[in-house]
Protein backbone atom coordinates (compact mmCIF):
# COMPACT_ATOMS: atom_id res chain seq x y z
CA UNK A 1 0.00 0.00 0.00
CA UNK A 2 0.96 3.63 -0.42
CA UNK A 3 0.97 5.39 2.91
CA UNK A 4 -0.12 9.00 3.01
CA UNK A 5 0.92 10.80 6.16
CA UNK A 6 -1.57 13.03 7.93
CA UNK A 7 -0.36 16.64 7.61
CA UNK A 8 1.64 17.56 10.74
CA UNK A 9 -0.36 20.73 10.96
CA UNK A 10 -3.91 20.61 9.56
CA UNK A 11 -4.43 22.23 6.15
CA UNK A 12 -6.23 25.53 5.81
CA UNK A 13 -9.77 25.42 4.40
CA UNK A 14 -8.69 27.74 1.61
CA UNK A 15 -5.99 25.30 0.45
CA UNK A 16 -8.34 22.35 0.68
CA UNK A 17 -10.94 24.10 -1.45
CA UNK A 18 -8.32 25.10 -4.02
CA UNK A 19 -7.03 21.56 -4.19
CA UNK A 20 -10.42 19.93 -4.53
CA UNK A 21 -11.68 22.33 -7.19
CA UNK A 22 -8.46 21.97 -9.16
CA UNK A 23 -8.53 18.19 -9.03
CA UNK A 24 -12.25 18.06 -9.95
CA UNK A 25 -11.25 19.85 -13.17
CA UNK A 26 -9.99 16.59 -14.66
CA UNK A 27 -13.21 14.67 -13.81
CA UNK A 28 -16.19 14.03 -16.08
CA UNK A 29 -18.77 16.78 -15.59
CA UNK A 30 -21.75 14.46 -15.20
CA UNK A 31 -24.32 17.13 -14.62
CA UNK A 32 -23.51 19.73 -17.20
CA UNK A 33 -22.48 17.28 -19.90
CA UNK A 34 -25.72 15.30 -19.29
CA UNK A 35 -23.67 12.15 -19.85
CA UNK A 36 -25.69 9.02 -20.26
CA UNK A 37 -23.68 6.76 -17.98
CA UNK A 38 -24.61 8.60 -14.83
CA UNK A 39 -27.87 8.01 -12.97
CA UNK A 40 -30.22 10.77 -14.05
CA UNK A 41 -30.31 14.18 -12.48
CA UNK A 42 -33.70 15.76 -11.84
CA UNK A 43 -32.43 19.21 -12.95
CA UNK A 44 -34.16 22.43 -11.88
CA UNK A 45 -31.73 22.95 -8.99
CA UNK A 46 -33.50 20.22 -7.01
CA UNK A 47 -30.38 18.54 -5.65
CA UNK A 48 -28.97 21.84 -4.45
CA UNK A 49 -32.15 22.40 -2.42
CA UNK A 50 -32.12 18.79 -1.18
CA UNK A 51 -28.53 19.30 -0.04
CA UNK A 52 -29.62 22.24 2.10
CA UNK A 53 -32.21 20.04 3.83
CA UNK A 54 -29.78 17.16 4.19
CA UNK A 55 -27.29 19.53 5.86
CA UNK A 56 -29.85 20.12 8.62
CA UNK A 57 -29.20 16.46 9.52
CA UNK A 58 -25.52 16.58 8.53
CA UNK A 59 -24.15 14.53 11.40
CA UNK A 60 -27.31 12.86 12.71
CA UNK A 61 -27.44 9.10 12.63
CA UNK A 62 -30.23 6.54 12.77
CA UNK A 63 -29.30 3.59 14.87
CA UNK A 64 -31.34 2.96 17.95
CA UNK A 65 -33.16 5.09 20.46
CA UNK A 66 -31.25 8.35 19.96
CA UNK A 67 -32.33 8.75 16.38
CA UNK A 68 -34.21 12.08 16.30
CA UNK A 69 -38.05 12.14 16.20
CA UNK A 70 -37.97 14.69 13.34
CA UNK A 71 -35.80 12.37 11.30
CA UNK A 72 -37.88 9.30 12.19
CA UNK A 73 -40.95 11.11 10.83
CA UNK A 74 -39.11 11.78 7.55
CA UNK A 75 -38.13 8.10 7.31
CA UNK A 76 -41.72 7.03 7.94
CA UNK A 77 -42.89 9.34 5.19
CA UNK A 78 -40.31 8.00 2.71
CA UNK A 79 -41.38 4.43 3.50
CA UNK A 80 -45.03 5.41 3.06
CA UNK A 81 -44.43 7.18 -0.26
CA UNK A 82 -42.35 4.24 -1.51
CA UNK A 83 -45.06 1.74 -0.54
CA UNK A 84 -47.61 3.88 -2.33
CA UNK A 85 -45.57 4.27 -5.53
CA UNK A 86 -44.66 0.57 -5.66
CA UNK A 87 -48.17 -0.63 -4.85
CA UNK A 88 -47.01 -2.54 -1.77
CA UNK A 89 -49.74 -4.77 -0.31
CA UNK A 90 -51.56 -3.26 2.70
CA UNK A 91 -49.84 -5.72 4.98
CA UNK A 92 -46.42 -5.18 3.40
CA UNK A 93 -43.48 -3.13 4.66
CA UNK A 94 -40.59 -1.12 3.25
CA UNK A 95 -36.97 -1.04 4.46
CA UNK A 96 -34.61 1.77 3.42
CA UNK A 97 -31.04 0.80 2.55
CA UNK A 98 -27.87 2.40 1.20
CA UNK A 99 -28.09 1.02 -2.35
CA UNK A 100 -29.38 -1.70 -4.63
CA UNK A 101 -26.74 -4.20 -3.58
CA UNK A 102 -27.67 -3.90 0.08
CA UNK A 103 -31.39 -4.21 -0.79
CA UNK A 104 -30.68 -7.43 -2.66
CA UNK A 105 -28.48 -8.73 0.14
CA UNK A 106 -31.15 -8.35 2.76
CA UNK A 107 -33.86 -9.79 0.49
CA UNK A 108 -31.68 -12.89 -0.03
CA UNK A 109 -30.93 -13.14 3.70
CA UNK A 110 -34.65 -12.90 4.49
CA UNK A 111 -35.49 -15.54 1.89
CA UNK A 112 -32.83 -17.86 3.27
CA UNK A 113 -34.13 -17.55 6.83
CA UNK A 114 -37.74 -17.91 5.59
CA UNK A 115 -36.70 -21.17 3.89
CA UNK A 116 -35.00 -22.37 7.08
CA UNK A 117 -38.35 -22.12 8.81
CA UNK A 118 -40.72 -23.07 5.93
CA UNK A 119 -38.55 -25.67 4.18
CA UNK A 120 -36.38 -27.11 6.99
CA UNK A 121 -35.57 -30.17 4.88
CA UNK A 122 -33.41 -27.97 2.58
CA UNK A 123 -29.83 -28.13 3.85
CA UNK A 124 -28.05 -26.45 0.90
CA UNK A 125 -30.30 -23.65 -0.36
CA UNK A 126 -30.01 -22.68 -3.97
CA UNK A 127 -31.05 -19.73 -6.16
CA UNK A 128 -32.05 -19.96 -9.83
CA UNK A 129 -31.36 -16.73 -11.72
CA UNK A 130 -31.68 -15.55 -15.31
CA UNK A 131 -28.23 -14.97 -16.84
CA UNK A 132 -28.85 -11.21 -16.89
CA UNK A 133 -29.39 -10.89 -13.11
CA UNK A 134 -27.20 -8.33 -11.34
CA UNK A 135 -23.97 -9.66 -9.72
CA UNK A 136 -25.34 -8.55 -6.33
CA UNK A 137 -27.27 -11.85 -6.26
CA UNK A 138 -24.03 -13.85 -6.48
CA UNK A 139 -22.46 -11.53 -3.94
CA UNK A 140 -25.38 -12.18 -1.56
CA UNK A 141 -25.14 -15.90 -2.18
CA UNK A 142 -21.44 -15.76 -1.31
CA UNK A 143 -22.19 -13.86 1.92
CA UNK A 144 -25.13 -16.00 3.00
CA UNK A 145 -23.85 -19.35 1.75
CA UNK A 146 -26.33 -20.19 -1.00
CA UNK A 147 -25.60 -21.97 -4.24
CA UNK A 148 -26.35 -20.05 -7.45
CA UNK A 149 -27.38 -21.31 -10.87
CA UNK A 150 -27.66 -18.83 -13.75
CA UNK A 151 -29.68 -20.15 -16.66
CA UNK A 152 -29.17 -19.05 -20.29
CA UNK A 153 -31.39 -16.26 -21.59
CA UNK A 154 -34.34 -16.72 -23.90
CA UNK A 155 -34.26 -15.71 -27.57
CA UNK A 156 -35.87 -12.39 -26.68
CA UNK A 157 -33.00 -11.62 -24.22
CA UNK A 158 -35.37 -12.06 -21.26
CA UNK A 159 -35.47 -14.80 -18.62
CA UNK A 160 -36.14 -18.19 -20.20
CA UNK A 161 -38.90 -19.70 -18.04
CA UNK A 162 -38.53 -23.26 -19.35
CA UNK A 163 -34.78 -23.14 -18.59
CA UNK A 164 -35.47 -21.76 -15.12
CA UNK A 165 -38.02 -24.47 -14.42
CA UNK A 166 -35.61 -27.18 -15.61
CA UNK A 167 -32.96 -25.83 -13.20
CA UNK A 168 -35.24 -25.98 -10.12
CA UNK A 169 -34.37 -28.89 -7.85
CA UNK A 170 -35.26 -29.96 -4.30
CA UNK A 171 -32.79 -27.46 -2.81
CA UNK A 172 -34.06 -24.47 -4.76
CA UNK A 173 -35.64 -21.82 -2.57
CA UNK A 174 -35.31 -18.61 -4.63
CA UNK A 175 -36.10 -17.36 -8.11
CA UNK A 176 -36.08 -13.80 -9.41
CA UNK A 177 -36.60 -11.59 -12.42
CA UNK A 178 -35.49 -8.05 -13.23
CA UNK A 179 -37.60 -5.02 -14.07
CA UNK A 180 -35.60 -4.26 -16.13
CA UNK A 181 -32.28 -6.13 -16.26
CA UNK A 182 -29.18 -3.95 -16.35
CA UNK A 183 -27.47 -5.59 -19.36
CA UNK A 184 -30.47 -5.52 -21.71
CA UNK A 185 -32.88 -2.98 -20.21
CA UNK A 186 -35.79 -5.42 -20.64
CA UNK A 187 -38.43 -6.55 -18.15
CA UNK A 188 -38.39 -10.29 -17.44
CA UNK A 189 -41.70 -12.19 -17.59
CA UNK A 190 -42.40 -11.65 -13.88
CA UNK A 191 -45.94 -13.20 -13.96
CA UNK A 192 -44.47 -16.49 -15.18
CA UNK A 193 -41.61 -16.38 -12.65
CA UNK A 194 -44.16 -15.70 -9.88
CA UNK A 195 -46.19 -18.63 -11.10
CA UNK A 196 -43.11 -20.90 -10.99
CA UNK A 197 -42.45 -19.74 -7.43
CA UNK A 198 -45.98 -20.57 -6.35
CA UNK A 199 -45.94 -23.95 -8.04
CA UNK A 200 -42.61 -25.03 -6.43
CA UNK A 201 -42.98 -23.23 -3.07
CA UNK A 202 -40.13 -20.74 -3.74
CA UNK A 203 -39.40 -17.15 -2.78
CA UNK A 204 -39.81 -14.82 -5.76
CA UNK A 205 -37.90 -11.55 -5.80
CA UNK A 206 -38.26 -8.74 -8.35
CA UNK A 207 -35.12 -6.69 -8.90
CA UNK A 208 -36.64 -3.33 -9.80
CA UNK A 209 -33.50 -1.42 -8.76
CA UNK A 210 -33.58 0.31 -12.16
CA UNK A 211 -37.31 0.42 -12.90
CA UNK A 212 -38.99 0.66 -9.50
CA UNK A 213 -39.46 4.42 -9.58
CA UNK A 214 -39.86 4.77 -13.34
CA UNK A 215 -42.24 2.01 -14.39
CA UNK A 216 -45.18 3.13 -12.18
CA UNK A 217 -45.04 6.52 -13.91
CA UNK A 218 -44.59 4.95 -17.36
CA UNK A 219 -47.77 2.99 -16.66
CA UNK A 220 -49.57 6.15 -15.55
CA UNK A 221 -48.46 7.75 -18.82
CA UNK A 222 -50.21 4.92 -20.66
CA UNK A 223 -47.29 2.63 -21.60
CA UNK A 224 -48.29 -0.99 -21.85
CA UNK A 225 -45.82 -3.05 -19.78
CA UNK A 226 -45.54 -6.63 -18.56
CA UNK A 227 -46.89 -6.74 -15.00
CA UNK A 228 -43.73 -6.55 -12.92
CA UNK A 229 -44.68 -5.87 -9.29
CA UNK A 230 -46.75 -7.03 -6.29
CA UNK A 231 -49.80 -7.48 -8.56
CA UNK A 232 -48.08 -10.77 -9.43
CA UNK A 233 -49.24 -13.14 -6.66
CA UNK A 234 -45.97 -15.03 -6.04
CA UNK A 235 -43.79 -11.94 -5.58
CA UNK A 236 -42.49 -11.81 -1.98
CA UNK A 237 -39.96 -8.97 -2.18
CA UNK A 238 -38.79 -6.20 -4.48
CA UNK A 239 -35.61 -4.11 -4.57
CA UNK A 240 -36.07 -0.59 -5.99
CA UNK A 241 -33.43 2.14 -5.98
CA UNK A 242 -34.33 5.69 -5.14
CA UNK A 243 -30.87 6.83 -6.25
CA UNK A 244 -31.53 5.65 -9.81
CA UNK A 245 -34.82 6.67 -11.45
CA UNK A 246 -36.12 7.89 -8.07
CA UNK A 247 -33.88 10.91 -8.86
CA UNK A 248 -32.65 11.32 -5.27
CA UNK A 249 -28.96 11.86 -4.38
CA UNK A 250 -26.88 8.70 -3.99
CA UNK A 251 -27.09 6.41 -0.99
CA UNK A 252 -30.78 5.44 -1.04
CA UNK A 253 -32.49 2.23 -2.06
CA UNK A 254 -35.46 0.26 -0.80
CA UNK A 255 -36.56 -3.30 -0.33
CA UNK A 256 -40.25 -3.98 0.07
CA UNK A 257 -41.76 -7.18 1.44
CA UNK A 258 -45.22 -8.57 0.77
CA UNK A 259 -46.11 -9.38 4.36
CA UNK A 260 -45.29 -8.02 7.81
CA UNK A 261 -44.91 -11.63 9.00
CA UNK A 262 -41.67 -11.86 6.97
CA UNK A 263 -39.99 -9.23 9.15
CA UNK A 264 -38.95 -11.84 11.70
CA UNK A 265 -36.74 -13.47 9.02
CA UNK A 266 -35.16 -10.14 8.17
CA UNK A 267 -34.19 -8.77 11.56
CA UNK A 268 -30.81 -9.56 13.06
CA UNK A 269 -31.55 -9.64 16.77
CA UNK A 270 -28.75 -10.16 19.28
CA UNK A 271 -28.64 -9.80 23.03
CA UNK A 272 -25.63 -11.73 24.35
CA UNK A 273 -23.04 -9.07 25.14
CA UNK A 274 -22.59 -6.51 27.91
CA UNK A 275 -24.50 -3.61 26.30
CA UNK A 276 -27.90 -5.18 25.78
CA UNK A 277 -30.14 -5.75 22.79
CA UNK A 278 -28.94 -4.95 19.25
CA UNK A 279 -31.56 -5.46 16.54
CA UNK A 280 -31.17 -4.15 12.96
CA UNK A 281 -32.87 -4.69 9.61
CA UNK A 282 -30.02 -3.79 7.26
CA UNK A 283 -26.38 -4.66 6.77
CA UNK A 284 -25.36 -1.42 8.44
CA UNK A 285 -25.05 -0.39 12.05
CA UNK A 286 -24.69 3.33 12.62
CA UNK A 287 -25.70 5.09 9.43
CA UNK A 288 -25.70 8.70 8.36
CA UNK A 289 -29.05 10.50 8.22
CA UNK A 290 -27.92 12.81 5.40
CA UNK A 291 -28.90 10.67 2.42
CA UNK A 292 -32.38 9.92 3.77
CA UNK A 293 -32.95 13.60 4.53
CA UNK A 294 -31.96 14.56 0.96
CA UNK A 295 -34.22 11.79 -0.32
CA UNK A 296 -37.17 12.99 1.75
CA UNK A 297 -36.76 16.56 0.46
CA UNK A 298 -36.40 15.44 -3.18
CA UNK A 299 -39.46 13.16 -3.12
CA UNK A 300 -41.67 15.67 -1.34
CA UNK A 301 -40.59 18.46 -3.67
CA UNK A 302 -41.05 16.42 -6.84
CA UNK A 303 -44.46 15.05 -5.95
CA UNK A 304 -46.44 12.89 -8.36
CA UNK A 305 -46.48 15.56 -11.07
CA UNK A 306 -42.71 16.00 -10.83
CA UNK A 307 -42.15 12.26 -11.24
CA UNK A 308 -44.59 12.16 -14.17
CA UNK A 309 -42.68 14.99 -15.89
CA UNK A 310 -39.35 13.26 -15.32
CA UNK A 311 -40.71 9.95 -16.66
CA UNK A 312 -41.96 11.77 -19.78
CA UNK A 313 -38.49 13.30 -20.10
CA UNK A 314 -36.79 9.89 -19.87
CA UNK A 315 -39.11 8.59 -22.60
CA UNK A 316 -38.53 11.65 -24.79
CA UNK A 317 -34.75 11.22 -24.51
CA UNK A 318 -35.11 7.53 -25.34
CA UNK A 319 -37.20 8.25 -28.43
CA UNK A 320 -34.79 10.92 -29.65
CA UNK A 321 -31.79 8.64 -29.24
CA UNK A 322 -33.53 5.69 -30.92
CA UNK A 323 -34.63 7.85 -33.88
CA UNK A 324 -31.10 9.27 -34.14
CA UNK A 325 -29.35 5.90 -34.23
CA UNK A 326 -31.75 4.70 -36.94
CA UNK A 327 -30.69 7.73 -39.02
CA UNK A 328 -26.98 6.92 -38.54
CA UNK A 329 -27.56 3.42 -39.91
CA UNK A 330 -25.76 0.14 -39.06
CA UNK A 331 -27.10 0.48 -35.48
CA UNK A 332 -30.26 -0.75 -33.76
CA UNK A 333 -31.62 -0.73 -30.21
CA UNK A 334 -32.11 -4.03 -28.46
CA UNK A 335 -35.07 -4.66 -29.21
CA UNK A 336 -37.33 -1.74 -28.12
CA UNK A 337 -36.10 0.09 -25.00
CA UNK A 338 -38.69 -0.41 -22.24
CA UNK A 339 -37.40 1.16 -19.09
CA UNK A 340 -34.86 3.95 -19.18
CA UNK A 341 -31.87 2.01 -20.56
CA UNK A 342 -30.83 1.82 -24.22
CA UNK A 343 -28.52 -0.86 -25.59
CA UNK A 344 -27.28 -0.20 -29.12
CA UNK A 345 -26.31 -3.23 -31.15
CA UNK A 346 -25.05 -3.81 -34.67
CA UNK A 347 -24.64 -6.70 -37.04
CA UNK A 348 -22.49 -4.73 -39.46
CA UNK A 349 -19.98 -2.58 -37.54
CA UNK A 350 -17.62 -3.60 -34.73
CA UNK A 351 -19.13 -1.96 -31.66
CA UNK A 352 -15.98 -2.37 -29.60
CA UNK A 353 -14.18 -0.20 -32.18
CA UNK A 354 -17.12 2.26 -32.15
CA UNK A 355 -16.92 2.31 -28.36
CA UNK A 356 -13.24 3.29 -28.41
CA UNK A 357 -13.86 6.02 -30.95
CA UNK A 358 -16.83 7.34 -28.93
CA UNK A 359 -14.79 7.37 -25.73
CA UNK A 360 -12.05 9.35 -27.50
CA UNK A 361 -14.70 11.91 -28.44
CA UNK A 362 -15.39 12.41 -24.74
CA UNK A 363 -18.56 10.35 -24.36
CA UNK A 364 -18.25 7.75 -21.61
CA UNK A 365 -20.75 4.89 -21.89
CA UNK A 366 -21.32 1.33 -20.74
CA UNK A 367 -20.70 -1.80 -22.82
CA UNK A 368 -22.42 -5.14 -22.93
CA UNK A 369 -20.59 -8.25 -24.00
CA UNK A 370 -23.64 -10.29 -24.84
CA UNK A 371 -24.65 -9.09 -27.36
CA UNK A 372 -21.85 -6.62 -28.11
CA UNK A 373 -23.53 -3.33 -27.37
CA UNK A 374 -23.17 0.26 -26.23
CA UNK A 375 -25.13 0.84 -23.04
CA UNK A 376 -26.74 4.16 -22.07
CA UNK A 377 -28.83 5.40 -19.17
CA UNK A 378 -31.54 7.84 -20.22
CA UNK A 379 -31.50 11.28 -18.62
CA UNK A 380 -34.65 13.40 -18.83
CA UNK A 381 -32.71 16.32 -20.31
CA UNK A 382 -34.86 19.43 -20.74
CA UNK A 383 -32.50 20.70 -23.42
CA UNK A 384 -32.15 18.29 -26.36
CA UNK A 385 -28.60 19.40 -27.20
CA UNK A 386 -26.84 16.75 -25.08
CA UNK A 387 -28.67 13.99 -26.97
CA UNK A 388 -27.83 15.60 -30.29
CA UNK A 389 -24.16 15.95 -29.28
CA UNK A 390 -24.07 12.29 -28.32
CA UNK A 391 -25.62 11.33 -31.66
CA UNK A 392 -23.14 13.49 -33.54
CA UNK A 393 -20.23 11.84 -31.70
CA UNK A 394 -21.74 8.42 -32.34
CA UNK A 395 -22.08 9.11 -36.04
CA UNK A 396 -18.46 10.26 -36.18
CA UNK A 397 -17.37 7.11 -34.35
CA UNK A 398 -19.37 4.83 -36.66
CA UNK A 399 -17.97 6.59 -39.73
CA UNK A 400 -14.43 6.03 -38.47
CA UNK A 401 -15.14 2.32 -38.13
CA UNK A 402 -16.77 2.23 -41.57
CA UNK A 403 -13.55 3.85 -42.80
CA UNK A 404 -11.47 0.96 -41.44
CA UNK A 405 -10.76 1.75 -37.77
CA UNK A 406 -10.04 -1.45 -35.88
CA UNK A 407 -10.49 -2.16 -32.20
CA UNK A 408 -7.29 -2.24 -30.17
CA UNK A 409 -6.46 -5.57 -28.53
CA UNK A 410 -8.19 -6.60 -25.36
CA UNK A 411 -11.21 -4.29 -25.39
CA UNK A 412 -14.19 -5.93 -23.79
CA UNK A 413 -17.31 -5.00 -21.87
CA UNK A 414 -16.82 -4.24 -18.21
CA UNK A 415 -19.49 -3.22 -15.67
CA UNK A 416 -17.14 -1.31 -13.42
C1 LIG B 1 -30.71 -4.23 -12.06
C2 LIG B 1 -29.78 -3.76 -10.98
N3 LIG B 1 -29.82 -4.33 -9.76
C4 LIG B 1 -29.02 -3.95 -8.76
C5 LIG B 1 -28.08 -2.95 -8.95
C6 LIG B 1 -27.14 -2.59 -7.81
O7 LIG B 1 -27.33 -1.29 -7.38
P8 LIG B 1 -26.22 -0.49 -6.53
O9 LIG B 1 -25.08 -0.26 -7.48
O10 LIG B 1 -26.95 0.72 -6.09
O11 LIG B 1 -25.79 -1.33 -5.39
C12 LIG B 1 -27.99 -2.33 -10.20
C13 LIG B 1 -27.01 -1.27 -10.45
O14 LIG B 1 -26.91 -0.73 -11.52
C15 LIG B 1 -28.85 -2.74 -11.24
O16 LIG B 1 -28.79 -2.20 -12.47
Q: Is 41 in the pocket of ligand 1 (CB under 6 A)?
A: no
* Whether the predicted pLDDT of 214 surpasses 90: yes
Neighbours of 68 (CB within 10 A): 13
* Multiple choice CATH, 50-297, 3.40.640.10, 3.30.565.10, 3.40.1350.10, 3.90.470.20: 3.40.640.10
Query: Mapping DSSP to helix (H, G, I), strand (E, B) and coil, where does residue 370 land?
Result: coil
Q: Is 354 in the pocket of ligand 1 (CB under 6 A)?
A: no
112 CB-side CA count, 13 A: 22
Q: pLDDT tens-digit profile of 23-34?
A: 988 888 777 667
How far, in Å, CA of 247 to CA of 263, rounded?
A: 28
Map out the domains of the chain as residue ranges: 50-297, 303-402
pTM of the entire predicted model: 0.95
* Whether the predicted pLDDT of 101 surpasses 90: yes
Neighbours of 7 (CB within 10 A): 8
**% of the chain exceeding 90 in pLDDT:** 85
61 contacts 288 by C-beta, under 8 angstroms: yes
CA distances 10 to 5, 14, 17, 268, Å, are 11, 12, 14, 41
CA angle centred on 234, ends 230 and 237, rounded to 5° = 55
Q: pLDDT tens-digit profile of 147-158?
A: 999 999 999 999
How far, in Å, CA of 78 to CA of 88, rounded?
A: 13
How far, in Å, CA of 129 to CA of 106, rounded?
A: 17
Residue of 98, 102, 208, 210 to test ligand 1 pocket, by largest number of atoms within 8 Å of CB? 210
How much distance in Å is there from the Cα of 236 to the middle of ligand 1? Answer: 19
Q: pLDDT tens-digit profile of 37-66?
A: 888 888 878 989 999 999 999 999 988 777
- Label residue 122 exposed, middle or buried (CB < 10 Å: 0-12, 13-18, 19+): middle
32 CB-side CA count, 13 A: 4
Topology agreement, domain 50-297 and domain 303-402: no
Topology of domain 303-402 in CATH is 3.90.1150
Residue of 136, 181, 246, 366 to test ligand 1 pocket, by largest number of atoms within 8 Å of CB? 136
* Whether the predicted pLDDT of 335 surpasses 90: no
Amino acid sequence: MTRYALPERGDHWYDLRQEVYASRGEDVDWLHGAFFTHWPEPGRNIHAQAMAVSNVFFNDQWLGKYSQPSFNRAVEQIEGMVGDILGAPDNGFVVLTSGGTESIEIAVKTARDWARSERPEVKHPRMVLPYSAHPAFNKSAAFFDLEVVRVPRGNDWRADIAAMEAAIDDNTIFVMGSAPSWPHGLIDPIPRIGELAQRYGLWCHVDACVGGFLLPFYEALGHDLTTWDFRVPGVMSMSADLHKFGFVPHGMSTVTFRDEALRSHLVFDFDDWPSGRYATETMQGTRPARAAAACWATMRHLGRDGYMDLASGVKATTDRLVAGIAAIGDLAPLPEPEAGLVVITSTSVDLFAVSEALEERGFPHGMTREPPGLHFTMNPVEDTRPVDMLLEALEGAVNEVRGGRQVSDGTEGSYI
